[in-house]
Amino acid sequence: MLDLLDKALFELPALMDTHDGWHSVDVTYHPPRVERLWRQWGENRILLHRIHPCEDGEALMHPHPWPSAVRIMSGRYEMGTAGTYFPDPDSTEPEEHEPAWDAIHAKVFLGPGSEYEMTEQHGWHYVRPLGGPSDSIMVTGPLYEPRVVMPHAPIEKQQPLSPERFNELFMMWKGRAHDMADRRDPPVECGTCDWEGRTSELACYRDDSGVPLEAEFTRCPKCFDEDQVFSKGRR
Give the model confidence (pLDDT) of 157-169 as tens digits.
999 999 999 999 9
175 Rama class: left (phi>0) / alpha (psi -120 to 50) / beta: alpha
For the stretch 38-43, contacts whose Cβ atoms lie closer than 8 Å and that sit 24 or more positions apart, written own/partner, are: 39/15, 41/8, 41/11, 41/15, 41/139, 43/141, 43/142
Tell me if 70 sits within 8 A of 5, measured CB to CB.
yes
**For residue 235, what pLDDT is reported?**
37
**For residue 91, what pLDDT is reported?**
55
Minimum mean pLDDT range among 12-16, 45-49, 69-73, 205-209: 205-209
CA angle 92, 142, 147 (to 5 degrees): 15
pLDDT greater than 70 at residue 16 = yes
Helix axis angle for 163-184 and 2-15, nearest 10°, is 110
60: helix, strand or coil: coil
Query: In this structure, what is the dihedral angle of CA atoms 84, 90, 96, 99, given to the nearest 10 degrees?
Result: -10
Residue boundaries of the structural domains of the chain? 2-184, 187-231
Which DSSP state fits 59? S
- CA separation (Å) from 136 to 5, 114, 122, 198? 11, 10, 22, 26
- What kind of fold does domain 2-184 have according to CATH? Jelly Rolls (2.60.120)
pLDDT class for 234, splitting at 50, 70, 90? very low
The average pLDDT across 168-173 equals 97
- CA separation (Å) from 62 to 66, 97, 103, 156? 12, 9, 14, 18
Rounded Cα distance between 133 and 162, Å, is: 19
What would the DSSP string read from start to end of 138-174? EEE-SPPSSPPPPTT--SSPPPPPPHHHHHHHHHHHH
Cβ-Cβ contacts under 8 Å for 220 (sequence gap 6 or more): 190, 192, 193, 195, 202, 228, 229
Strands 196-198 and 187-190: antiparallel
Percentage of the chain lying above the pLDDT 90 cut: 53
The average pLDDT across 17-45 equals 96
pLDDT class for 220, splitting at 50, 70, 90? confident
**For residue 185, what pLDDT is reported?**
77
Rounded Cα distance between 200 and 202, Å, is: 6
